[in-house]
Amino acid sequence: MSSALLDEAARIAREFDYPADQVNHGVTEYIKQSNEGLAQENTTLSQIPTFVTAVPNGTEKGLYLAVDLGGTNFRDLFTFLARQIEAFLRIHHNEHFEAHLRRRRDDGNHVVDLFDLGFTFSFPVRQCGINSGTLIRWTKGFNIPDAVGHDVCALLQSAIDDLHLPVRVAALVNDTVGTLMARSYTSPGETGTLLGAIFGTGTNGAYVEKLDKVTKLQHMKDAHYDTSSGEMIINAEWGSFDNHMSVLPTTVYDDELDADSNNPGVQMFEKRVSGMFLGEILRRALLAMHNNPALGLFKPSKTSKVSLPSDSLFYRQWGLDTSLLSQVESDTTKNMVDVKAALKDHLKIEHPSETECQAVKILVHAIGKRAARLAAVPLAAILIHTGKLETDEIVDVGVDGSLVEFYPSFEAYMREALREVPQVGVAGDKKVRIGISKDGSGVGAALIALVASKDETLRNPSKK
């Protein structure tokens, strides 16, 4: 069985090949779709104006609150968040909080000293100002239909007001924008950061765009923002790049994952790149080999004592966590100790043969590498589109998320694909500096709350 198994694993792995010509095709198409998104609404790349018009340089100071409602941080909705804020204030700022409560008792109309809060909400939101925006759709497996179409800042503010907390929701922040701001705050040197990118549960990016390229802003009558920098951060929502599948690669496993998801036909780029999905792609590919009687993957036989219990997560949709891929990819031992440990810990699979471990490794590598090479597409496109490659300066990029942080060689494979884009080439190795901006979304939210609290046009829009 062994060579048939490895042959089949290699055949499936080849289906995940994403060669240089396809990368370049993807880049061209990304630039096209991103220009469409800057000009009009309801395009596949949303290109959402964030109304954040400057990046920090590291000198900013102040006391601000941040709440991060992202992927795995998500538990319940706004009342829960308000209660968490209350608990935080009682523990860390109790004096201020008590003083506020006393003042409220003395005089209901008292204008109090409010904490400004940056609210990281990492789902597609149509923004019309720095602290307001309506939810366009849920992603990453969430689905609470009531919230779609509502202003998520207003929802949080009203839950906060119900608890009489001294807190003003000053800024609505996507985690990518937070990552960009936090990286810009901490990155070495004076150059601001161009791009913040997330490769975690989902994938997305935010970058600094010239205001005059964001032509759809001209049609937003209620929009108010500071024009002095001539720039605005754009939340690309690149998880939805190429939803109509004009250039994205696909396999039968991708197609089935999508068809069985709660949002078929959308987030098609994300479904090939991010942590929520890679484990499920792998599970489906392994399951196909398991169900193929000619291969007998993970099936006991005369020569194999492998065991796979019927309650294993191997049989459950979304049951295979992407951290297994990192564990497998990082195994350099001869008898694959780490692969075996991963199969046991995650899937209760015991005593797999080394050939079976080898087959798992081949598939993991193929799926992980395709994801990392796909990740290079928006990165190269934004480098080209913004003209930053033609300047003399280092281009700084901040990244965050478990996948880019822990999957071995994610950045290396991404850079390999970047090099294959002629406009970037080997020069990109030095020119493009990529740095982890760990948990940047929280720090970034506080930084945006700071920027927002200083902007008079936002406190009092009629003054603009």
The site partner of 321 among ligand ADP, Mg ion, none (C-beta below 5 to 8 Å per kind) is ligand ADP
151 is catalytic: no
Catalytic, out of 122, 187, 437, 453 = 122
In the complex, least distance from residue 439 CB atom to Mg ion, rounded to whole angstroms: 7
How far is the C-alpha of 96 from the C-alpha of 411, rounded, in Å?
A: 44
DSSP-derived pairing of the beta strands 65-69 and 231-235: unpaired
| 210 beta partners | 231
In the complex, least distance from residue 228 CB atom to ligand ADP, rounded to whole angstroms: 32
Asked if 176 contacts 48 with a C-beta cutoff of 8 angstroms, the reply is no
Please give the C-alpha separations between residue 141 and each of 226, 263, 277, 377, 444, in angstroms, as whole numbers.
35, 8, 10, 24, 25
Rounded to a whole number of angstroms, the CA Rg of the chain reads 24
Asked if 50 contacts 42 with a C-beta cutoff of 8 angstroms, the reply is no
Q: Is position 70 an interface residue for Mg ion (rule: CB under 5 A)?
A: yes
Number of H helices, E strands in the chain: 17, 11
Per-residue 3-state assignment (H helix, E strand, C coil) for 34-98: HHHHHHCCCCCCCCEECCCCCCCCCCCCCCCEEEEECCCCCCCCHHHHHHHHHHHHHHHCHHHHH
In the complex, least distance from residue 143 CB atom to ligand ADP, rounded to whole angstroms: 16
Q: Which of residues 38-67 bind Mg ion (CB under 5 A)?
A: none
175 is catalytic: yes
The site partner of 118 among Mg ion, ligand ADP, none (C-beta below 5 to 8 Å per kind) is none
Scanning 3-11, 54-62, 198-206, 366-374 for contacts with Mg ion by CB under 5 A, the matching segment is 198-206
In the complex, least distance from residue 198 CB atom to ligand ADP, rounded to whole angstroms: 6
Nearest to 259 by CA among 317, 329, 338, 314: 317
Cβ nearer to ligand ADP, comparing 276 with 374: 276
Catalytic, out of 68, 116, 151, 175 = 175
Catalytic, out of 83, 103, 104, 137 = 137
The site partner of 378 among Mg ion, ligand ADP, none (C-beta below 5 to 8 Å per kind) is none
Binding residues for ligand ADP, rule: CB under 6 A, are: 70-72, 200-201, 275-276, 321-323, 325-326, 401-403, 406-407
Cβ nearer to ligand ADP, comparing 275 with 444: 275
The site partner of 291 among Mg ion, ligand ADP, none (C-beta below 5 to 8 Å per kind) is none
Asked if 347 contacts 314 with a C-beta cutoff of 8 angstroms, the reply is yes
Cβ nearer to ligand ADP, comparing 186 with 402: 402
The site partner of 275 among ligand ADP, Mg ion, none (C-beta below 5 to 8 Å per kind) is ligand ADP
Map tokens 């990392």 to a residue.
372
Cβ nearer to ligand ADP, comparing 307 with 402: 402
Provide the phi-psi class of 32: left if phi over 0, else alpha when psi is between -120 and 50, else beta: alpha
Which amino acid makes up residue 65? L
137 is catalytic: yes
The site partner of 201 among Mg ion, ligand ADP, none (C-beta below 5 to 8 Å per kind) is ligand ADP
Per-residue DSSP letters for 187-213? SSSSPPEEEEEEESSSEEEEEEEEGGG
Burial degree of 113 (CB within 10 A; 0-12, 13-18, 19+): exposed
Cβ nearer to ligand ADP, comparing 270 with 321: 321
In the complex, least distance from residue 302 CB atom to ligand ADP, rounded to whole angstroms: 36
In the complex, least distance from residue 323 CB atom to ligand ADP, rounded to whole angstroms: 4
Measure the N-to-C terminal CA separation of the chain; round to a whole number of Å.
73
Tokens of 354: 């080394």
The site partner of 402 among Mg ion, ligand ADP, none (C-beta below 5 to 8 Å per kind) is ligand ADP
Q: Give catalytic residues, as residue numbers.
A: 122, 137, 175
Give the binding site for Mg ion (CB under 5 A): 70, 200
